């Protein structure tokens, strides 16, 4: 019985962690309350909304996503190359996030 309960609890927690719960992009600039859905890297569409989600979720893997107005367009081009190297981004991801940041 205890074993069954433990298995059920484990399954529930895992289901919640990896799929069941609603998720939002974790851009946590104070005041930000945007809500979205989880995105698989391989299926991210190259849309501005997709780029926005890619930006918030990719940055938040390591640190709070910096606001698009933290740097100007030229500076973002440098920062995103730095982030591609340090954060292990593909060239496509770098360009998509840069496009989003420069369009804001």
Partner 1 sequence: MNPIRSVCLTLALSAGLAAAQQDAKPPDDRYVTREEYEKVLKRLDTVTAEMEKVKTQQAATVNVNATAKDTDAAIEEVKQTVHDIQDQLRTLQPGTHTFLVTGFGFAGFEDRKGSPSTFTAGVNPILLWKIGDRLFFETEFEVEFASKDEGGGTEFNLETVNLNYLVNDNLMIGAGRFKTPLGIFNDRLESKWINKLPDRPLPYDDDKGIAQEATVGVYAKGAFNTPVGGLNYAVYAGNGPTLNTEGDNVGTLDFDNLVDENDNKAVGGRIGWIPFQYFEVGYSVQYAKVNPSGFEDVHAFTQAIDLSYVRTMNEIKGQIDFRVEWVFQNVDKATYIIDGSPSRFNNDRNAGYVQLAYRPTLMEGKFLRNLEFVARYDRLNVSKSAPNGGAEQRYAFGVNYWLNASTVLKIAYEIDDKQQGDNEDAFFIQGAMGF
- Give the chain's length: 104
Going by C-alpha positions, the residue among 28, 32, 103 that lies closest to residue 73 is: 103
In whole angstroms, the minimum distance from the beta carbon of 65 to partner 1 comes to: 7
Backbone φ/ψ region at 31: left (φ over 0), alpha (ψ -120 to 50), beta: left
Question: Which lies closer to partner 1 via its Cβ, residue 70 or residue 103?
Answer: 70
The number of angstroms, rounded, from the C-alpha of 18 to the middle of its chain's C-alpha atoms is 15
Binding site for partner 1 (CB under 8 A): 16-18, 21-26, 28-33, 35, 38-42, 53-54, 57-58, 60-67, 70-71, 74-75, 77-79, 81-82, 84-93
Tokens for 43? 């299926």
In whole angstroms, the minimum distance from the beta carbon of 40 to partner 1 comes to: 6
Question: Which lies closer to partner 1 via its Cβ, residue 8 or residue 78?
Answer: 78
């Amino acid at each position: 019985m205890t074993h069954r309960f433990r298995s059920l609890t484990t399954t529930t927690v895992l289901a919640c962690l990896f799929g069941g719960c609603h998720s939002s992009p974790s851009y946590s600039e104070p005041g930000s309350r945007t809500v979205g859905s989880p995105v698989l890297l391989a299926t991210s569409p190259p849309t501005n909304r997709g780029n926005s989600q890619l930006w918030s979720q990719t940055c938040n893997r390591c640190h709070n996503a910096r606001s698009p107005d933290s740097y100007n367009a030229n500076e973002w081009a440098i920062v995103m190359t730095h982030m591609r190297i340090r954060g292990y981004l593909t060239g496509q991801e770098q360009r998509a996030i840069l496009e989003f940041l420069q369009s804001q």
